[in-house]
Structure 1
């Protein structure tokens, strides 16, 4: 079999001419003299031909370097394709394989060294990927140790290995060993592990510390390390390392300390209303009449929680007036800044406290819970100045920390005294310790492929000073310090290793460690992040630099429609603009994108409804989705089910949903499903999933699966039941600034990407269903993605 680089050299005849001219000039002269002496003209007339061989008069013009990584030659597939098709046809006749579609054959037999395969849900990409590996190994003569299939999770790799061993075993009669498959199919992080250990002074990764995840040195090559981002929870050992770095920096770096203290203040600050009505109207009128009484009542409730806090002047006073002279009251002042302090109903208020009766002249008696809510809304909409707001125990602690450190001499501060407080960066869903908040955002920034401090320095000067600004300033100082503290312990984060290896020069990494990356097939490519893409390209470029006569190749397989991990740095943009991120040599032509359009999983009604969701996605690969399974009686797309007018506690949602799930489970069993997946239930919250599993245990309800939306990706069942809406979450100012500063996503904010991702997540949920889909939400009108189906009369049933 001819190697891709064994094509005939188009310049070979010119080189041969020059060689002859140098070796036999005298012989040429003799030929010419003889010809003239023996009737040159007569011989010419008789049809004889005399060749004049001349040396070129000038040297060849040197060519510029081509920036493309892949090429210049394509794979020689003409003869190999015939052989592959013939062998597959034989195996299909023997009922050992299913016949690939022409779209699948285009992937299996692709000749371009940089190929992107956009394969939708249920398109059969996994088996096709395995057949591509067989074609490369058995017909393109690529060595076993020069090819690697990469996926994200240990579970997906195990599935691919099983399929590869079975299918490749149809060609290799001696069989395919488990250890061989382990070396050929790897997670990103297991592949990175061995290279990093050989190239860097590193004992282990920060993400492997604690939780039983540490690997012995002798297991490096065979380590099957899972994606560390699959779990968002830090181990106690990891938290201790972060806390240690944070405490030391707080005690020794005055600028970092100032940023943290400013962040404490800013996190409590509420800005003045952007536009204030000229006068109080409607319900605000009654809120103002009772405001002093509510302020006094809240002071009494907070007195059980330590009010007045240190640093507070507990003086109730009117801190602003409306245009018509209506007064609203603060509960006190901050001694250090004289900022007004407004107390809100404590987040941990008891039912008795919420039910306290508030009375004021001109108003009907009402409960403190209701009155405090009106007071909070009124002040936020009317206040003409900034103020400090305290409504949670965490906020009260934050204020106390701020007051304590604002007056403390820096010489008194030790690491043990550094404030460890819970913090919720605007845009996040939950409060975490401040060092964890810094780590989460630092890791996200690095996933974009740039060092944290470098990217943060590209953010333009702020127009206002708010907590995102102080948080960014603190992070820019914390991240280098954290990495340095890890290196002193011979630890590094995966992201720091990726950045270090991406900038490696020839000779810094043993080529033998990179051999397996010469030909890469990346599964679930829609979940890749820029930092991983940059690393893959950098390692392959080192291979080219070591010997540019040996080619490299990459094939990405996935579906940007199912990209649902943007919150941890993954980007479908790499998939959408593949040719720009993975440049090919000019002689080879730009990277190729292939599209799978057949859906072998879901019936037409399900596919049609899934496509309705994708119409809402702003950035995506445009392709058709053609359902293959026939419709049967009773099959349907999305059926909406309302179970209330407001969000409920997880246990309440589970109790409400259990009868519906049981009914649909019984209906699915009556369909005699051919597999063990009759019903798959998906929830937005893990707590709802856990509550449902307790009510509907697998031992009692066979063929019933219960997962979160993210866990369900890759699974399927006859009936899919979706619980709760897929929504984009809160605006995220800090990540919006990071997105813009990175330059990677022009005219595309993080908030917009989150909106797109919400619809993609819903698409993943709908396409888990083969024949029927039910979507249960508290209130359709209040949803983001579910309401896409409200006006769809053909499949809409409101229960």
Structure 2
């Protein structure tokens, strides 16, 4: 039966689908038309065929086009779905953040309540500014606070602790505040207990000391928790008292001076190693020869030029001088010396003949006896115009300038005893000679040099033997033997200290035990030991070392890995890090610290979110003091955007006064400020400067020292010791200058990844910047007055950079009153 096509009009419907009567009528009339030949059936059939073909063709074309478009569209969708699937199978990314992605639970109500309380309980002068409130209310896991000199960072940090404990309910044992020195720790504890009392909380000294720590006092309990180390002693704190009663010694771990108890351990280790290791003995021999040799003088040195004129006359009387000096040594029982062959040997010095007293075969060196300082300086030969001491001084200068043979000049009977012990192989009292590593300002006992060099290397996060293995020196450079001997000695010393009862360990060794190089050791610590590190606040962060940075990162990673279970049932959750510092006040690079970790905070301490705060207001100094200090330091690399502004109403603006060194004039001005009731800081670069100036200000020193310590208005300190202090008037004695180049420190700086790429002397470059920062620290101690007394140049300082080179001429914040540079 034909299919119904509803789209056709009824008059075109097929015959079979018509009603019966219409179908009969159609057939009757169609048959009649055919009989009458009025209808041509073939044409109709032919037309029907043509129409069918035409319709079919059009329909196919239309259908093809319609279907093709629909197919393409459908196909395109299929292809897009297939293209979106990666043909690769990459691994999931590593989450290197030190913290979970969380926020401090700070509501608007808590902020409002604290601000109201601060406004009610603290005086107007102690009200935080907008930037300080930003630091207090930082809610991100990590916070970096750039706080310039006098920015009120300590007070703000105390308010931050109050927020965490009083308003958010954090337990005290979940917090640690880190300061770098005993003095800053004591000062911060006093501020903290005072502020807590205002809020009605009694914070005991014990709780405060548990909260406010140095890095070193936090690492010691970690190591003592390990089996066998319960009574471990820190080498840096080692003294007679600590050995007797196991008392905690609150010493300065950055003080590298060796006390008697420490020296006993150093000497005992040296003796054992010297006795047992042939290689170590072989290395000590060239070091002792170099150390004992007479040091050279340049021929253009003023002393050489002055004494060259009497060379021929001195040579004529030299044998008689040798006899006179030798007689003094024989009478003192100091000559002859076992191990030294008493053999006169002639030398030609500047064309004339002089003599020595003996020869040391083991060192292949000649010996000249000197004039012992304890002898009467007026002793002279018969009929001689000069004293023996003066004749000896002429000879010594000529030998220093013109003798190129290995020569040991024994200056005293005491030094001869040390040489005797060394030559006899008796190392029970240590090496017995001083040494000077290239780049250091002065010589020191050999073992002190070992401690200083090893501490510097370890502060950079390096292992001493591994670092030494990467160093290189010229074949005849004595430092090559020094560092190889250090490698052997340092490993032996660590073993020797651990063998003591109780065991002893250096702080650097402790930090290395729990650094990123040994993360498995942190698994041994209990939650209770780690929990105080959960919310860490660090002051003076610009002075942190690579070694301590590695320990902090490893500790924070371990805390995060332990997860929420570590904080169950407590108000303090997860972990955070807040670091406060000022890269312009980074002045401890000589011990291995670096401002890099503060300047690149986001890179060094990976976090889901970091708050950055800039505390630009200076609550201490007037604008001229600030501008002068910043002008000096601005040549050093720094965090961008730093510019301090004096807080409060503008007062009298006094320039920084720069003078030529004049101790008498300085003393007169200092006494005047003291009479006016001002507090005074006298800052010096060298200990000898303090002694010199005290001769002129003895009346002030005597009057001030009779007062109780808190009431004293005069403090005499080094530039480095003055950080955190302030005074109405500051007197700066001496320039800040980079005087030496250190080949070994440049090498280990590169090993530690410090300095700029391609810089062959990264440590020296850092020190040239540091002298500018040191001057900045000195100037910014001043509230009102600053006087800077600058030495003239000497032979040692020619062509070496110094901070005073940056003193600006024609600027209102400097008054340069030096001869030839008068600028007001």
Specify if TM > 0.5. Answer: yes
Q: Please tell me whether residue 317 in structure 1 is matched to residue 374 in structure 2.
A: no
- 1-side partners of 2:442 and 2:135: how far apart? 43
Task: Quote the RMSD (CA, aligned, Å).
Answer: 4.3
Q: Please tell me whether residue 127 in structure 1 is matched to residue 155 in structure 2.
A: yes
1:180 and 1:318, CA in 2 relative to 1: closer, same or farther beyond 3 A?
A: closer
Q: Which residue of 2 aligns with 1:507?
A: 523
- 1-side partners of 2:196 and 2:545: how far apart? 30
Q: Is the 8 A contact 1:357 1:366 kept in 2?
A: no
- Which of these two proteins has the greater Rg computed from alpha carbons? 2
**Distance apart, 1:571 and its partner CA:** 2.5
Among 189, 193, 208, which residue is 2:237 paired with?
Answer: 208
- Superposition TM-score, scaled by structure 2 size: 0.73
- 2-side partners of 1:554 and 1:357: how far apart? 78
Deviates more, 1:241-250 or 1:420-429: 420-429
Residues 533-548 of structure 1 mapped to structure 2, 5 A cutoff: 533-547=549-563
Q: Is the 8 A contact 1:560 1:621 kept in 2?
A: no
- 2-side partners of 1:628 and 1:344: how far apart? 65
Q: Which residue of 2 aligns with 1:717?
A: 727
Q: Which residue of 1 aligns with 2:173?
A: 145
1:64 and 1:720, CA in 2 relative to 1: closer, same or farther beyond 3 A?
A: same
Q: Which residue of 2 aligns with 1:115?
A: 143
Q: Which residue of 2 aligns with 1:47?
A: none
1:634 and 1:582, CA in 2 relative to 1: closer, same or farther beyond 3 A?
A: closer
Q: Which residue of 2 aligns with 1:331?
A: 356
**Distance apart, 1:125 and its partner CA:** 0.6
Q: Please tell me whether residue 577 in structure 1 is matched to residue 577 in structure 2.
A: no
Secondary structure of the 1:100 match is: coil
1:791 and 1:137, CA in 2 relative to 1: closer, same or farther beyond 3 A?
A: same
Q: After superposition, what is the alpha-carbon deviation per residue over 1:665-719, rounded to whole angstroms, capped at 9, x for unaligned?
A: 224x2xxx6xxxx222223344654746864132567652222123322111111
Among 504, 509, 513, which residue is 1:496 paired with?
Answer: 509
Q: Which residue of 1 aligns with 2:539?
A: 523
Residues 358-397 of structure 1 mapped to structure 2, 5 A cutoff: 385=404, 387-390=406-409, 392-393=411-412
Q: Please tell me whether residue 554 in structure 1 is matched to residue 581 in structure 2.
A: no
Secondary structure of the 1:250 match is: helix
Q: After superposition, what is the alpha-carbon deviation per residue over 1:56-98, rounded to whole angstroms, capped at 9, x for unaligned?
A: x99x988535363333515257x53663255324522554463
Q: After superposition, what is the alpha-carbon deviation per residue over 1:420-450, rounded to whole angstroms, capped at 9, x for unaligned?
A: 3344444445554433332232222222222
Q: Is the 8 A contact 1:117 1:555 kept in 2?
A: yes
- 2-side partners of 1:660 and 1:357: how far apart? 52
- Superposition TM-score, scaled by structure 1 size: 0.75
Q: Which residue of 2 aligns with 1:666?
A: 675
Among 785, 792, 795, which residue is 2:803 paired with?
Answer: 785
1:708 and 1:620, CA in 2 relative to 1: closer, same or farther beyond 3 A?
A: farther
**Distance apart, 1:198 and its partner CA:** 0.8
Q: After superposition, what is the alpha-carbon deviation per residue over 1:379-423, rounded to whole angstroms, capped at 9, x for unaligned?
A: 66666x553352644775665556545xxxxxxx7x648643344
Q: Is the 8 A contact 2:146 2:582 kept in 1?
A: yes
Q: Is the 8 A contact 1:613 1:759 kept in 2?
A: yes
Q: Which residue of 2 aligns with 1:450?
A: 462
- 2-side partners of 1:491 and 1:433: how far apart? 22
1:750 and 1:99, CA in 2 relative to 1: closer, same or farther beyond 3 A?
A: same
Q: Is the 8 A contact 1:579 1:592 kept in 2?
A: no
- 2-side partners of 1:370 and 1:754: how far apart? 40
Q: Which residue of 1 aligns with 2:69?
A: none
Q: Which residue of 2 aligns with 1:265?
A: 289
Q: Is the 8 A contact 2:99 2:556 kept in 1?
A: no
- 2-side partners of 1:401 and 1:262: how far apart? 16
- 2-side partners of 1:229 and 1:358: how far apart? 58
Q: Which residue of 2 aligns with 1:761?
A: 774
Secondary structure of the 1:228 match is: coil
Q: Is the 8 A contact 2:150 2:619 kept in 1?
A: yes
- 1-side partners of 2:614 and 2:372: how far apart? 51
1:90 and 1:133, CA in 2 relative to 1: closer, same or farther beyond 3 A?
A: closer
**Distance apart, 1:242 and its partner CA:** 1.5
Q: After superposition, what is the alpha-carbon deviation per residue over 1:472-509, rounded to whole angstroms, capped at 9, x for unaligned?
A: 11111111111111111222222211111221415322
Alignment size in residue pairs: 692
Q: Is the 8 A contact 2:269 2:492 kept in 1?
A: yes
